[in-house]
């Protein structure tokens, strides 16, 4: 049976593949956006495993820090990755004059891969419904 957590992970992996593909095609603003969403969905899956949901990005980012970083379960760098990607996604999605730097896009896509892998590792070790 597919759970909502599994669906979030499917979305995370789908958007990670989209980020990598768009980076390869030099669609850097889309790569940044999809990289952020890969992390967002992975964070959502993690939080749902603890019974937390939010429709707001700010709620997910804040709760992720509280539930996984402050507890020491995940390193602070994962929170920084998520926040940096969120900020870059806002610029690339909403500021038409913003030009995504290639090195920033590469970093966000690499961070997204690490973030999704770390989330999957945690979820594999947890007892879930």
The Cβ of residue 24 has, within 10 Å, a number of other Cβ atoms equal to 10
Q: Rounded CA gap, 19 and 29, in Å?
A: 9
How far apart CA 123 and CA 13 sit, in angstroms, is 14
Alpha carbon distance 78, 76 (integer Å): 5
70-111 per-position pLDDT tens digit: 999 999 999 999 999 999 999 999 998 999 999 999 999 999
pLDDT of residue 127: 64
Provide the pLDDT for residue 32.
97
CATH code for the part of the protein at 4-125: 1.20.120.330
Confirm if 64 and 82 have CB atoms less than 8 A apart: yes
- Determine the average pLDDT of the residues in 115-128: 89
Question: How big is the chain by its Cα radius of gyration, in Å?
Answer: 14
Question: What percentage of residues in the chain have a pLDDT greater than 90?
Answer: 92
């Amino acid at each position: 049976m597919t759970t909502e957590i599994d669906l979030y992970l499917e979305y995370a992996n789908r958007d990670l593949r989209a980020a990598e593909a768009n980076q390869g095609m030099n669609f850097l603003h889309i790569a940044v956006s999809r990289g952020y969403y890969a992390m967002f969905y992975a964070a959502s899956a993690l939080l749902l495993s603890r019974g937390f949901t939010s429709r707001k990005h700010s709620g997910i980012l804040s709760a992720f820090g509280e539930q996984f970083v402050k507890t020491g379960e995940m390193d602070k760098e994962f929170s920084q990755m998520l926040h940096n990607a969120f900020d870059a996604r806002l610029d690339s999605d909403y500021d038409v004059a913003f030009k995504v730097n290639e090195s920033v896009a590469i970093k966000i896509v690499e961070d997204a891969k690490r973030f999704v892998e770390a989330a999957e590792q945690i979820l594999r070790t947890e007892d879930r419904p």
